[in-house]
Amino acid sequence: MEIIWYSLLFILLGMYILLDGYDLGAGASYIFFANTVEEKKKIIKSLRSVWDANEVWFFAFVLILYLVFPKFALTIFDNFGGYILLFLLFMLLKTLAFNLMLTFEDKRIKDFFGFLFGFFSLMMIIFIGIIIANILRGIYFDSENELQFVSDKFSPVSSHTGIFDWFSVLTTALIFITLLIHGMGWIVLKNKGAFNKKLKKAIQRLSFLLLILSIIFAISWNYIHPGIYQNFYKYPFLLLLPFFYISSIFGLMGIRTYQGENKAFILSTNLIITGLLTIFSLMFPRLSMGLDNKEITIYNSDFFQPERFYLQWWIIALGIFLLIYSIIIHKYNKGKVID
Domain boundaries defined on the chain: 2-332
> Comparing 56-60, 101-105, 184-188, 212-216, which segment has the lowest mean pLDDT?
56-60
pLDDT given at position 301:
72
pLDDT given at position 40:
86
CA 58 – CA 91 distance, rounded (Å): 11
Split at pLDDT 50, 70, 90, the class of 218 is very high
Average pLDDT, the chain: 82
Q: Does the pLDDT of residue 112 top 50, yes or no? A: yes
| Tally of CB atoms within 10 A around 250 | 11
Our CA angle for 336, 177, 207, nearest 5°, is 80
CA dist list (Å): 169 to 47, 128, 197: 28, 12, 30
DSSP string for 261-295: SSHHHHHHHHHHHHHHHHHHHHHTTEEE-BSSS--
For the whole model, what pTM was predicted?
0.86
Split at pLDDT 50, 70, 90, the class of 145 is low
92 contact partners, CB below 8 Å, separation of at least 6? none
What average pLDDT score do residues 259-267 get? 88
> Comparing 22-31, 115-124, 145-154, 264-273, which segment has the lowest mean pLDDT?
145-154
CA 306 – CA 287 distance, rounded (Å): 21
Our CA angle for 241, 56, 22, nearest 5°, is 50
DSSP string for 293-310: S--EETTSS----GGGGG
What average pLDDT score do residues 158-164 get? 63
CA 327 – CA 273 distance, rounded (Å): 18
**Coil, helix or strand for 121?**
helix
CA 118 – CA 109 distance, rounded (Å): 14
Q: For residue 124, count CB atoms less than 10 angstroms from its CB and return exposed for 0-12, middle for 13-18, buried for 19 or more.
A: buried
Instruction: Of 105-114, 207-216, 330-339, give the range with the top mean pLDDT.
Output: 207-216
| Tally of CB atoms within 10 A around 280 | 16
How does strand 148-150 pair with strand 286-288? unpaired
How does strand 162-164 pair with strand 148-150? parallel
Split at pLDDT 50, 70, 90, the class of 172 is very high
Q: Is 136 or 311 the better-scoring residue by pLDDT? A: 136
Q: Does the pLDDT of residue 161 top 70, yes or no? A: no
> At what angle are helices 240-253 and 194-224 packed, to 10 degrees?
150
pLDDT given at position 156:
59
Our CA angle for 8, 168, 118, nearest 5°, is 80
Q: Does the pLDDT of residue 103 top 80, yes or no? A: yes
Instruction: Of 35-44, 133-142, 157-166, 264-273, give the range with the top mean pLDDT.
Output: 264-273
Summarised one tens digit per residue, pLDDT across range 282-310 is 988 888 877 666 777 877 776 655 455 55
What average pLDDT score do residues 4-28 get? 85
Phi, psi of 261 (to 5 degrees): -115, 10
Phi, psi of 91 (to 5 degrees): -60, -45
Q: Does the pLDDT of residue 323 top 80, yes or no? A: no
pLDDT given at position 306:
47
- Of the chain, the end-to-end C-alpha distance in Å amounts to 49
